[in-house]
Amino acid sequence: MPQPLISVVVPVYKVEKYLPICIQSILNQTVSDFELLLIDDGSPDRSGVVADEYAQQDARIRVFHKPNGGVSSARNFGLEHARGQWVCFIDSDDWVEPDFLAHLLNCSAVAEFRAAGHREYTETGFREYKPADEYFMEDTMRLFYEKHIASSISRTPWGKLLSMRPIREHHLRFDTEVWFGEDTLFICSYLRYIKQIVIVGETDYHWRYSDSSLSRISQVKAWGDFIAKYEKQVIAVLLERYPDSFPIRKHWAERCLDLLFLQIEHLYMEEQLPSQARRQALASFFAHLKAYPFNYLKADRGEMFLFEALLYHIGNLYLADAILYSFWTLKKHIKHKKT
């Protein structure tokens, strides 16, 4: 069987309702030189059966059935079996326009990272993220990070065309020990080994929002695990390369503040949280608040940004209520302990 130009990797888990739409949109591509790898990650519904049925109709489809290991495990399985020069990740509840691959394939002769815009669909409607056409080379890579480090361009694997060369040469894989932000860690690791980036101003990718199945306490832990690895693997590397970049430092402070206020929300929402755990989480909040943002921001502009960010979060009445509730709970516990 000849080597395909593109390997399209689709992790499959509990999506029998959406999977036919996803598969059909890929088969309808105007570019036909691709293989479609459907990775059934131990799905308990009929998703695996649906995938097998499509494979019988089109020789470009290869289906793999594996025990459940999570989306990162499924994507890594796809990378292990990909035979193409390029890899494209598509989530199994999403779909793409017929020219999706063509727009990415024909936009450049040399760029090994090619990304486009997308449309986001929620229960209340959709919004379009349509970036400008941009081209970044090695000497303008700093500008790319400063403009796109916080966007889906550098945070998600879907909606892109990635060269398999750096993935094979450096054995790049998704981190299966992280349950939040693993997409960002993979993309940022990939970006370290390329010299040209193309962004296409098309919105051929349709992304369907699905709420996280993690509990709130799991979200706090998962976000904390991600922040620790993100600092070491991404932020430290970027700031060593661009030490005077305020946008990168600002972005890092924003991510840290997101974690901190998620902790406060957790304190508020988890009514059955033991008092000791509540005190530990509150102490962790203030420890992180003191350590993180100031460490990564210049004093002249950083203090003003931090103040504005705090006002934004606290300006949310729901969050303000959460903070007051946390203080009240802590005070009540201390009073109870004294008596």
How is 22-61 classified by DSSP, letter by letter? Answer: HHHHHHT-S---EEEEEEEES-SSTHHHHHHHHHTT-TTE
Q: Domain-by-domain residue ranges, the chain?
A: 6-208, 216-338
- If you write DSSP's letter for every residue of 201-260 in order, what string do you get? EEEEEEEEP----S-HHHHHHHHHHHHHHHIIIIIHHHHHHSTT-HHHHHHHHHHHHHHH
**Rounded distance, CA 132 to CA 119, Å?**
15
| pLDDT at res. 213 | 45
Contact between 169 and 193 (Cβ < 8 Å): yes
Contacts of 65 (CB under 8 A, 6+ apart): 40, 42, 48
Torsion of CA 330, 334, 335, 336, to 10 degrees: 100
| pLDDT at res. 235 | 86
CA 46 to centroid of chain Cα atoms: 27
Give me the numbers of helices (H) and strands (E) for the chain, helices first please: 13, 10
Does the domain at 6-208 match CATH 3.90.550.10? Answer given as yes
> Given phi > 0 = left and psi -120 to 50 = alpha, else beta, which region is 20?
alpha
pTM of the full structure:
0.82
| pLDDT at res. 317 | 40
**Rounded distance, CA 215 to CA 132, Å?**
37
Low-confidence ranges of the chain (pLDDT < 70): 1, 211-224, 259-339
**Rounded distance, CA 230 to CA 185, Å?**
7
The H-assigned helical ranges of 59-117 are 71-81, 100-105
**Rounded distance, CA 234 to CA 255, Å?**
12
**Rounded distance, CA 38 to CA 333, Å?**
53
Owner of token pair 């790049």: 172
What length does the chain have? Answer: 339
| pLDDT at res. 318 | 45
Q: How many CB atoms lie within 10 A of CB 315?
A: 9
